[in-house]
Structures are given as structure tokens and as C-alpha cells.
Structure 1
Amino acid sequence: MNVEERIKTVGKIPMERRTIIHFMLVANTINEQMAQALKPFDVSIQQFNVLRILRGQKGKPANLSTINERMVTKMSNTTRLVDKLILKEYVERNTCPSNRRKIEILITLKGNEQLSKMDAIVSETETNLLQQFSTNELEQLNILLNKFQS
């Protein structure tokens, strides 16, 4: 059942509730498609997000706190996500030489290479998810969604 069919099953409910349900259904569809796109890489959406954050550091290390602050989905299991990426050799964790209590996390060359491959698939998935919208409609949608941020 697609999103539109699921919305029709909601019936006569207040517009606010219908809107929230619609957001949730769309979010689930997006998450399912993104997870499917990343499946061949054996990486979750959250792990992909960690890799992008680390790439954005441009060679500078990040700590767990920095990564967690920048995550799209805030969570307390950032350590577990990093541990899984270490096992895949996509990131490395080092102790800061000047402060032994500080842990620094860096993306590896292998992590960067895999992330580039993931980027292409994720970009294609994003395009496919939004192909029915014009650029103007996407701009309008972003303006409306920005109201949640303010």
C-alpha cells in the first residue's frame, strides 16, 4: 500500500492529526528507501550519517559529543555506531596525545572511498523519491518545513 492509499484509510480525522500521520508515513517511506539503498554496503542510515559528519571534519578528528550533536537523529548509542564502523575499517579511534581522556575519531581512506560510493546511490534514491516534485514545489515545501525549525 503506497502513502496515498494509507492516507485514505485514515478517514475523517482532524487536519492536525491527519497532517502528523502523513508526515510519519512519508518519513517511514523515506527511511525504508534510504535503508534499502545502503543495504549493499551493510551500513545503517545512522552509520552513513556518522561517516558524513566525519568527512565534513576535513581531516580533523571529532569526539563522540561532536558527532552526536550533528546527528540527524539524536541518540545515545553513538559509541556503538562508531564501534561498528571501526570493525568495517571505515573509521579509527585514537586517544588524544595531549588529553588521555579525550577520544578522537577519524574517517579512514577506506571509509571515504565507500562513502563516495554510498553518496552516488543515496543521491539517486533522493532523486527518485522526489521526482514527482518540481524545483518550485521543493522550494515551497522546504519553506513550510522550515517552520518546524523556528
Structure 2
Amino acid sequence: MRLEDELKTSRFMDDVHKAQLNILFSAAWLRARLSASLKPLGLTLEQFNVMRIVRGHHPEGILIKEITSRMLERNSNTTRILDRLEAKHLVTRTILPHDRRERLIMLTEAGIEQLLAVDRSWQKNNPHTAPWTPEEAQLVHQLLDKMRE
């Protein structure tokens, strides 16, 4: 649906303002869709984000400080999120022998299965969320990267 229809207005300061509002609106829309697909699986967006980061370092694991630096929401409490994931037996924390203050985070088998379930659920329930060609997706990446420069 067009931004004008969603916001019920056609008045914008200029095309840049309209594009910025569209990015904000679309991010909130995508976040709501992803949250809805995670809820039946018992995960929050923040928990999924941590698991996604840890999956990228499977099977060797990743340090907590590295997870924190890669979070989409930089204000998230990584330790609290890991506490909840560990209580669900989705991740493990191992104390490092050379630095007892640091913990190595790894996915459990249950965590890997949970991420596969998330992937299946997302693909099944949201096939239309990114109806782009590979070239269009690349253009979106380039424009968003340019905006953050």
C-alpha cells in the first residue's frame, strides 16, 4: 500500500521527507510482522537478533561483547536477553579459562532447531514482504547505506 494511503495524507515537505517517513513506517511495519511470526515460537525480536548473531558464529561461538556490538537495537540488555535464552535452553555460556570475566556464547541443538523454525515460519507466512528482484534489493541496500554515510 502507498505511504499516502497508510498515513492518510499527501502532504510532505519534499520527496526526501516523504522517503524518510516511508523508511520509518516500513521499518515499523516489518518489525510488527516479524514480531508476530516470532510470538508463537516464544521469541522476542531481541532474542531472535541475538540468536541470529550467534548462528553466524556457529559452531565456534561468539563473545558477549561481540554480540552487543552487532545488535540491531544497540540499547538492548544483552546479558538479560542471554539469561532468557539460556533459561529456554537455546544458548549456552562458557567461561573462558584465560579470562573468567568473559563468556563464550553458543547455540544449543534446540537453538538451531528454533532458528530453523523461525526461518520456515517467516517464509511461509510472509512471502510478499520483499517482492524485489535481486537488482532492486541491491538498490535498496545501496540507498540505505548512502543514507547512513
TM-score tier by shorter-chain length is 0.7 to 0.9
State the secondary structure of the residue aligned to 1:17: helix
Residue 93 of structure 1 corresponds to 93
Distance apart, 1:62 and its partner CA? 1.8
Distance apart, 1:136 and its partner CA? 3.4
Runs of 4+ in 1 over 4 A off after TM superposition: 1-4
Change in 2 beyond 3 A, CA 1:127/1:148: farther
**Structure 1 stretches lacking a partner, 5+ long:** none
Distance apart, 1:78 and its partner CA? 0.8
Calculate the TM-score normalised by the size of structure 1: 0.85
**Structure 2 stretches lacking a partner, 5+ long:** none
Residue 67 of structure 1 corresponds to 67
Q: Which amino acid in structure 2 is aligned with residue 139 of structure 1?
A: Q
Structure 1, 113-122 or 22-31: larger mean CA deviation: 113-122
Aligned counterparts, 1:61-140, within 5 A: 61-125=61-125, 127-131=127-131, 133-140=132-139
Distance apart, 1:5 and its partner CA? 1.3
CA distance in 1, matches of 2:125, 2:72: 18
Higher strand fraction: Structure 1 or Structure 2? 2
Q: Deviations over 1:108-128 (max 9, x none)?
A: 111111111111222345532
Query: Number of residue pairs matched?
Result: 149
Residue 18 of structure 1 corresponds to 18
Higher helix fraction: Structure 1 or Structure 2? 1
CA distance in 2, matches of 1:8, 1:29: 16
Residue 6 of structure 2 corresponds to 6
Q: Which amino acid in structure 2 is aligned with residue 74 of structure 1?
A: R
Q: Quick check: 1:68–1:78 contact (8 Å CA) kept in 2? A: yes
Residue 33 of structure 1 corresponds to 33
Calculate the TM-score normalised by the size of structure 2: 0.85
State the secondary structure of the residue aligned to 1:127: coil
